[in-house]
């Protein structure tokens, strides 16, 4: 997005400059001399620099893409060379914990859960005459 804010005003300014400066002028560089409008020359120079900048950026980007592909292939090779029995069994929900994590060890060992017995409540005299409509909660063993 920032490239748009830089490229768009520069491009518009170059187009306006080229439209305003159409009269041919004699131009020289070192020993070469030619006749051209300054607007066309500005557009040609801008296109040359834009192409040079784009090519240099693509050289860097392609190098990074090659490095990423090579690292991904190396990772696949290393994962394929690992035997399945060496990998510790992971419990669901702890996939991001390290293998030697105390949290993983505590989670893996079953902890006994003790629930206190439900207190016996004597039914009210009105409830004894009517049948019970609510189901009883399951008892824990």
pLDDT > 90? residue 58? yes
Q: Within 10 A of 13 (CB to CB), how many other CB atoms are there?
A: 12
Is the pTM higher than 0.75? The answer reads no
pLDDT tens-digit series, residues 87-127: 555 556 556 667 677 776 776 666 666 777 777 776 666 65
Helix H, strand E, coil C: the string for 56-92 is: HHHHHHHHHHHHHHHHHHHHHHHHHHCCCCCCCCCCC
pLDDT > 90? residue 7? no
Whether the CB-CB separation of 21 and 38 falls below 8 Å is answered with yes
């Amino acid at each position: 997005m920032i490239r748009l804010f830089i490229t768009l005003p520069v491009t518009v300014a170059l187009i306006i400059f080229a439209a305003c400066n159409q009269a041919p002028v004699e131009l020289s560089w070192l020993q070469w001399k030619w006749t051209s409008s300054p607007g066309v020359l500005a557009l040609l120079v801008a296109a040359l620099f834009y192409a040079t900048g784009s090519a240099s950026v693509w050289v860097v980007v392609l190098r990074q893409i090659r490095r990423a592909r090579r690292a991904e292939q190396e990772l696949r090779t290393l994962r394929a060379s690992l035997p399945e029995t060496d990998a510790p069994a992971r419990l669901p929900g702890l996939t991001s914990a390290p293998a030697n994590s105390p949290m993983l060890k505590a989670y893996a060992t079953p902890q006994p859960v003790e629930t206190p017995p439900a207190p016996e409540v004597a039914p009210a005299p009105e409830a004894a005459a009517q049948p019970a409509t609510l189901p009883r909660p399951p008892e824990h063993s």
